[in-house]
Chain A
Amino acid sequence: MPNYLSIDTSAHASVALIDADTGAVIAAHTSPKGNDQTETLAGYVRDLMADHGQQGPELAGVIVGVGPGPFTGLRVGLVAARTFGFVWQVPVHGVMSLHALAERVLELDEIPEEFIVASDARRKEVYWATYNRQGALTDGPHVAAAATLPALPVYGVGAGIYEEALREAGAAPQPESFAWIAESAYLAKHGLKDLAAGKDLSNTAPQYLRESDAQVPAFMKQAQAKEATA
């Protein structure tokens, strides 16, 4: 019975082994820290696989979170997932990381008609998306100041960090979710649904949502203007 390896580093380093037929979580581990992806990820995968006698080439595939999330950590997971896929010759499926938070909302007793999930985008902003009661994405992902979000219930760590700004904007941050970050087990849950529905998840391009910080320095603009007119 093949399993999926699931990896998400859009928040913390998070790994899981998932039964491909039943969707059951065989084992999962998430780092308590948000800045140790490079150091921990490979060791987590090694331990997860060894503990369950899992051979890489026998995996059904790798499910990887493509963000949005802080860029450096996000890349650590993506380059690892692509490398595993290359070496083991198994497919790599990209899943938007906010889906992991939405899956968690679907486990609540009462699910709102429409809701927002939000993660921390730093710089006083959140990564966010809206979902309907069935857990289907209705808008996003976006990156924006918390104060600009629509007046809906908000779940996820972003809701806790920007609770005040969200309330002022008329949104309803949900305290039970203030510790929720993207976890690979929930990410895989969404991925398996998409695969079962026949969706193509072969795109593993990172969802940066922001341009690289690069700005053309003023003196270069002058130089380019000179060249252009010359």
Chain B
Amino acid sequence: MNADEIDAQIRAIAAERRLPPSHLERWLAMDQPSRAAMLEIANTLRLRTGQLVAALDTLEEIAVREHVTVAAVLDHPEIRRISRRSGSAPSRASALLEQLRALRYPLLKEMQDDLRAEVSALNLPRGISLDLPKELGSDELTVSLRVRSGAELAHLLEALDRKRAGLTRIVEMLGGKREKNEI
């Protein structure tokens, strides 16, 4: 496909999906390999409007952050794998957005994984739940108890007390404390 054909297809897909004009404008403003790579993945995974918007936004941010083109981001092995693997288009589209988010927020993902592992390692009894702040947007850990009797309450409080060190560690991790805080 030449550049004109690519742009015509981009305009067609944008019209069909009712893509906001600002997003169409930004798509068309990309370098030609990026325009084409984006078009290919939009077609292959049959991205819906919201997915297309999210993908364009995230891709642009990654490209700016990493000083690379959108085509280079889409050439990432994990994204190529999602694009080529079997499975339904909607599930692959979700996987694409998840992978783009992991590329866009690498440290956040790593921290969330670490914290989830800490929570899981506590092995808390049923009736106690720990909720990490959404997207780690605060330092607040929510601890909930679900009980129906005094005995249950006593049992869960004892369990919490036994896990005090692990819980404190999670709160400190949310507060920016690292294993090695040496400079």
Check if A and B associate: no
Seen from chain B, the residues whose Cβ lies within 8 Å of a Cβ on chain A are: none
